[in-house]
Structure 1
Amino acid sequence: MTPLILALTAGAVVGLALGGLGGGGSVLAVPALIYLLGFTPAAATTAALLIVIATSLTGLLAHARDGRVRWRTGGLFAAAGIVPAALAGALSVRIPSGVLTGAFAVLATVAAVRMLRTAAPRRSSPGRPDAVPAGKTVGAGAGLGAVTGFLGVGGGFLAVPALVTVLAVPMSAAVGTSLLVITVNSTAALAARLTTPTVLDWALIAPFTATAVLGAWDGKRLAAKVSTASLQRIFGVVLLAVAVFMLVDAVA
């Protein structure tokens, strides 16, 4: 299979994950760029941020059109992560490739386990749908921003559970709100990374991004037909297999 076909196929899968689950796509994008398309870990995490920004923004617009974005909660959550994302993004380009790959593999394992576990979401207060515990929001947002910047992932697989269980955002709005957080954090991390020159293969990044954007729209429609738990299990199994492969590769 040619690199172009691989890029198109991988992009579609990433877009489906982001559009349908509000996360998970970026942790599939990095290994796809490394192992399928031959990117270095540093280039892959930078390219993944570009892909995730375009894809998440597309998904965000689709969810916003249906009124499934909590702008106040998501805005505060995202704002808390801007500085940590930028600082971690600047630091990550100085980390050895093996360490970066190993750290990413561990994070991918955590993401897969979270996807495979099903939990009943908490409900937000019907009278105050946008009431936000500011301290919890800032703390969770800062931590997520650091992860986004350091490993080049949007962090939706962490943002969605945090929004549901910590901030009591209903699942119906958590996916769309997480895409707002991902877009802001990824943009901050990318801005920091671009201060250090990185060689990127745009001939592969462009088609990867294009099919990811189209996949995000399909993912949003798929989420309306298939239960979130089913989608999480499918992507969780795939991600766990990828994480194990990366762990073996990192210690080999």
Structure 2
Amino acid sequence: MDFQIFHEFVFGFYPGILSILLVGFFVGYLSSFLGIGGGFIYTPFFHTFFHLSAVQAVAVSLAQMPISSLSGLLVYIKNRKVRFKEGFILLLTSIPSAQLVAYKFGRFEETEFGRKLFFGLPVSELAYLFIFTFFLSILGVWNLISAKRKKQKAMLHSLSRDKDVLKEQTSAPPSMTFKSILFLLGVGVAFGATSSLLGIGGGFLAVPLFVYYFKMEPVEAVATSFLGIFFTSFGTSILLYSQGKLHIELALVGTIGGFIGARFGSLKAIHAKPYTILYILGSMQLLVVAWYLVSKLLKILS
């Protein structure tokens, strides 16, 4: 590691190190609060300000997740917020799907078609731009709608004295059935694929599904998602490093800030109102999509 990559930062070497430490802290805090990998910020950040390719940006984003997610995960385990059964079933399919997609996407960037330029950008980058903005926009809108509904239910619960309403709000989570296990395995495939393709950890998909299909509290969904992020990102990072796609020095500096931020974020999430997590998650998704689209359009038009 020679840290020469920090000279590629648009404002210079030392500002590059400082910016990654600060972004790492913010991402660690936000990701542990929301149960996501933080790559929705990291990936476009490295892609834009360090001029990394799409796959390289994803690789660095994923590589800083294991230690950061472990930092928050330990807090959640201590407070008994992790649903291990659902988390480990998710991992059965998320790990292999993440490995497969990472391998294929890494190879696609090196093909003649992947390097072909359209509108001044390689096909691989355009494909990534479309997938990133399309899926993140849908998830952002979905989470905002979900947060509004959960807030309305919370207000109804606080105002109503109807026993049926109280029973509904405090009912025990449903037991695992064969159908729910198959569904969770399918979610694992999508979790792993989005994690390795977009570098976002998969929590954007898993958290709302855990909340509304498996009836978890948002903090439980966040904690269980972190379990998946830790193992999935760790395995995928090793694969991308073996392909020569990972700038380990960038990931190392980001991890330092992320480890500290994740401790604070997980402690905050434990005491947060349920709908607050979903509101912030949806808003951040749409904000990043807007910023990323504008930055790419300016690059195309310049």
Q: Same fold (TM over 0.5)?
A: yes
Normalising by structure 2, report the TM-score.
0.74
How far has the Cα of 1:113 moved from its partner? 2.4
User: What's the CA shift string for 1:170-213, capped at 9, x where partnerless?
Assistant: 323111111011112222322332331125161x3322111111
Judge which range, 67-76 or 218-227, deviates more.
218-227
Is the contact between residue 61 and residue 199 of structure 2 (CA under 8 Å) also seen in structure 1?
yes
User: Relative to 1, partners in 2 of residues 1:207 and 1:191: Cα closer, same or farther, differing over 3 Å?
Assistant: closer
- Higher mean alpha-carbon deviation, 25-34 vs 103-112, is at 103-112
- Of 174, 180, 185, 2:232 maps to 185
Matches of 2:248 and 2:229, distance apart in 1: 23
1:73 pairs with one of 61, 83, 86: 86
CA–CA separation in structure 1 for the residues paired with 2:210 and 2:281: 20
* Distance (whole Å) between structure 2 residues aligned to residue 24 and residue 85 of structure 1: 14
Q: What are structure 2's unaligned runs of at least 5 residues?
A: 1-10, 110-123, 154-167
Structure 1: 5+ residue stretches without partners: none
Q: Is the 8 A contact 1:113 1:236 kept in 2?
A: yes
- Distance change in 2, residues 1:130/1:26 (3 Å): farther
The DSSP-based 3-state class of the residue aligned with 1:145 is helix
8 Å CA contact retained: 2:66, 2:234: yes
Correspondence 1:146 to 2:193: yes
Q: What pairs with 1:78-227 in structure 2 (closer than 5 Å)?
A: 78-93=91-106, 94-95=108-109, 96-117=124-145, 118=147, 119-120=149-150, 126=172, 131=176, 133-198=180-245, 200=247, 202=249, 204-227=250-273
TM-score computed with the length of structure 1 as normaliser: 0.87
- Aligned: 1:60 with 2:59: no
Q: Which amino acid aligns with 2:71?
A: T
Instruction: Give CA deviations for 1:190-248 in whole Å, capped at 9, x if unaligned.
Output: 2332331125161x332211111110111012224443433543454344232123224
Question: Contact 2:137–2:286 (CA<8 Å) still a contact in 1?
Answer: yes
Aligned CA RMSD, in angstroms, stands at 2.5
Query: What displacement does 1:114 show?
Result: 3.6
d(CA) in 1 for partners of 2:135, 2:256: 26
Residues 112-121 or 99-108, more deviating: 112-121
Give distance in 1, aligned partners of 2:67 and 2:105.
22
Q: Letter of the aligned partner of 2:239 in structure 1?
A: A
CA distance in 1, matches of 2:21, 2:140: 23
* Percent identity for Structure 1 against Structure 2: 24
